Structure 1
Amino acid sequence: MSTQDTGTRTPSGAAARPGTPRFIDSVSLIAGREVSMRLRSKAFLISTGILMLAVLASVVLGSLFGGQSEAAKVAVVGGAASVVDGNDALEAVPVDDQAAGEQLLRDGEVDAIIVPAASDPLGVVVVGLDETPSNVMQALAVYPTVELLEPAAVDPGLAYLVAFGFGIVFFMSAITFGSTISQSVVEEKQTRVVEILLSTVSARALLTGKVVGNSVLAFGQILAIAVLALLGLMLTGQRVLLGGVGPSVIWFVVFFAVGFVMLAALFAASSALVSRAEDVGSVTTPVTMLVMIPYILIIFFNDNPTVLAIMSYVPFSSPVGMPMRVFLGTAEWWEPILSLLILVATTAAAVLVGERMYRNSLLKTGPRVKLGDALRG
């Protein structure tokens, strides 16, 4: 007795129906699309180039104005050489008489002339061309020994510049790429392109791809800034400053890489609550404030150890607070690790909450979706 085969078989030579793409493939495709779109944007490339030039210019100007200046050249006559001897800030150019020194001064070869004068209490007279040679006078000035009860480990001016650098780079990068994610989410929702995308990929894959793509760009930009700054310090001979700034810059890059993922997920989730580009600003304001507050605090309280200590453990401000404490030398070796673990845990929670809000709001058009509805689904 023959048995009929009731099972379904694919006919020979017939093409199998394509299945749903894997999650990792969907994420890679969406992330690649986000990266390629940004790299083709002239505005992005120009702004990145300007930012790179600004970083390089700040390092070069710092070496010119903050580094050691060249010794001032002075023409010395006779016994006046004893006043200049041993003074590293002055370079003596011996001349036979004052007339020869005046000729060098008029030719711009020296900054001033130092001649002996018995009538002067100091025994010498400084001769300038058309104004008082302040650099020479400062080099000749005699100051008493100064002792500090609580000497600062880092120059306050340098500390402010480092704090400003961390703050402005964090603020600009987070706002720039966060705004890009927000605009992309609302544009896809407003044009209903998202409905086509969701017929092929899941909302989780779509959100993950956007976050990964923009995080890669943001991290690449921050890494390029860090490498350029460290390379500039090496080429300009600021090795002492490099030794102090280097570790804090490395920690800043690490903290930013984790912290931006958290911010990117929140930008995307909050933007999914609205269907019009005009309403993006109102829903992303809380996230924007989370970016602005650390920038403001690090600028005005970079010398306050209590504020910096709190900032270094609050997830939204630790990307600037902890690297600043590392630079100042006020953080123990284990504190950056603990702060990073807190940031990683907070980022994971933010991504889970953001994914739920994004998934529950993406297909809802019309009025703004309430936060409670986005969380409940």
Structure 2
Amino acid sequence: MSTTASAARMGTEPRGRTPFWQATGIVAQREIMTKLRSKSYIISTIILLALVFGGVIFSAVGPDLFDDDTTVATTGSVASSLQSLDGVAVETLSSADAVRQAVLDGTVDAGVVPGDGPSGLLVLADREAPGSLMQLLSVAPELQLLDPNAPDPMLTYFIGLAFGIVFFMSAMTFGQTIAQSVVEEKQSRIVEIMLATVSARAILAGKIVGNSVLAFAQIALIAAIVLLGGAVTGSQLLLDGLGMPIVWFVVLFTVGFVMLAALYAAAAALVSRAEDLASATSPIMMLVMIPYFLVIFFNNNPTALQIMSYVPFSAPVAVPMRVYLQTQEWWEPYLSLAILVAFTVLVIGFAARVYERSLLKTGAMVKWRDALKP
């Protein structure tokens, strides 16, 4: 075995190697520039941002596009009482017979004329009752809202789904990029040349830093696009209600992705062929998918979200949801962040050990426990 290979396994640096932080910067720069030179990456990022911005704009103006006013024909004696109703376009005609004829001709959606019933109004329709108009004219009981600011369950579901999808897609995309880069270098034996001047830990650190910068930049751009869309549409939900949840998501995702990136790199170092990469990274994929599914099922369950906020793999999704729902104490997001940082440090140490002890092993897939043996 060569001196370089032995040193790489032992974690030492022979003479002539580039200093650790300088080597980390070189590898990180290479990872970043490789991605930025990829037309598919640039185009896919632009499409993603365009879809996010379009979704924000549509969520604000879309309902108005499909919410047409109900055109109602009436007489002068009734017109004043109808004009105060939202969603009703009043067309005043000369007589009740003219209103009936307008309804029969289909020039209006419905008609309202004086009637003999308790309400004093008679609604005229062609084939079926105009439901929205009937609701507007119905006498409703007195209503008292006990919690006007309570979150909408459907809106909560879609917000949780959005956080889960962004976390899932970004972690999977950049995690697989790291894994493919590691196995390609190992399969082509380029890594053996790199180890002559750069330590294994520096290579690992560079890959984590480079791809983490790219992932963070993409998440930051998505957050900026969402807030920009909120500013353009004047959506108070996006400007006020989701402002702090988005900030916490960006912070926690950044730390959480470093943890996942280290695991992806370590898993890829266990195999020598691209064909074996899926089986090696499948446990990590499950850890990434868990928050995605949990937030769908428990997006409005305070107890489940509280537990998830202290689990490192689900904290980047659960904490922003709790901040949005205002179900946490002020210190709880900071505690979740501290737990995530501490766990990430442990994972990096674990991944570095697996990575440098498996990087030069070829042949069958190395098992995790074998990679940890001295």
- Identify whether the pair has TM-score above 0.5, normalized to the shorter chain: yes
1:336 is aligned, of 316, 333, 336, to 333
Q: Please name the residue that 2:77 is paired with.
A: 79
Residue-pair matches, total: 359
Alpha-carbon deviation of 1:106? 9.5
Q: What CA deviation, in whole Å up to 9, does each residue of 1:253-289 have, x standing for no partner?
A: 1100110000000000111011111111111111111
Q: What CA deviation, in whole Å up to 9, does each residue of 1:102-150 have, x standing for no partner?
A: 79879998654322233x4432233456764433333223332355778
Where do residues 316-335 of structure 1 align in structure 2 (5 Å cutoff)?
Answer: 316-335=313-332
Alpha-carbon deviation of 1:44? 2.1
1:43 has 2:30 as partner: no
Q: What CA deviation, in whole Å up to 9, does each residue of 1:85-115 have, x standing for no partner?
A: 5434435443433576679879998654322
Partners of 1:67 and 1:202 lie apart in 2 by 59
1:349 is aligned, of 338, 346, 350, to 346
Q: Please name the residue that 1:159 is paired with.
A: 156
Alpha-carbon deviation of 1:320? 0.2
When residues 147 and 206 of structure 1 are mapped into structure 2, their CA distance, relative to the original with a 3 A threshold, is: same
Is residue 186–residue 274 contact of structure 1 (8 Å, CA) maintained in 2? yes
Alpha-carbon deviation of 1:296? 0.5
Q: Tell me the amino acid that sits aligned with residue 81 of structure 1.
A: A
Q: Please name the residue that 2:113 is paired with.
A: 115
Q: Please name the residue that 1:174 is paired with.
A: 171
Unpaired runs of at least 5, structure 2: 1-14
Q: Tell me the amino acid that sits aligned with residue 336 of structure 1.
A: P
2:230 is aligned, of 215, 233, 239, to 233
Partners of 1:107 and 1:35 lie apart in 2 by 66
Q: Tell me the amino acid that sits aligned with residue 83 of structure 1.
A: S
Q: Please name the residue that 1:21 is paired with.
A: 18
1:33 has 2:30 as partner: yes
Partners of 1:330 and 1:85 lie apart in 2 by 42
Q: What CA deviation, in whole Å up to 9, does each residue of 1:145-193 have, x standing for no partner?
A: 3557788820001000100000011001101111111111111101101
Q: Please name the residue that 2:275 is paired with.
A: 278
Partners of 2:43 and 2:325 lie apart in 1 by 34
Where do residues 57-206 of structure 1 align in structure 2 (5 Å cutoff)?
Answer: 57-65=54-62, 72-98=70-96, 111-118=109-116, 120-128=117-125, 132-146=129-143, 153-206=150-203
1:362 is aligned, of 352, 359, 362, to 359
Q: Which runs of 4+ in 1 moved over 4 A?
A: 65-73, 98-111, 128-132, 146-152
Partners of 1:215 and 1:107 lie apart in 2 by 65
When residues 26 and 79 of structure 1 are mapped into structure 2, their CA distance, relative to the original with a 3 A threshold, is: same
Alpha-carbon deviation of 1:315? 0.6
The structure showing larger relative contact order (alpha-carbon pairs under 8 Å, at least 6 residues apart) is 2
When residues 249 and 104 of structure 1 are mapped into structure 2, their CA distance, relative to the original with a 3 A threshold, is: farther
CA RMSD of aligned residues (A): 2.7
Q: What CA deviation, in whole Å up to 9, does each residue of 1:14-50 have, x standing for no partner?
A: xxxx954332222222111111211222332333233
1:259 has 2:244 as partner: no
Q: Tell me the amino acid that sits aligned with residue 271 of structure 2.
A: V
Quick one: percent identity of the two aligned structures? 53
Unpaired runs of at least 5, structure 1: 1-17
Q: Tell me the amino acid that sits aligned with residue 270 of structure 1.
A: A
Give secondary structure in 1 for the equivalent of 2:310. Answer: coil
Is residue 16–residue 197 contact of structure 2 (8 Å, CA) maintained in 1? no
1:298 has 2:295 as partner: yes
Give secondary structure in 2 for the equivalent of 1:376. Answer: coil
Partners of 1:176 and 1:225 lie apart in 2 by 15
Larger deviation, residues 350-359 vs 131-140: 131-140
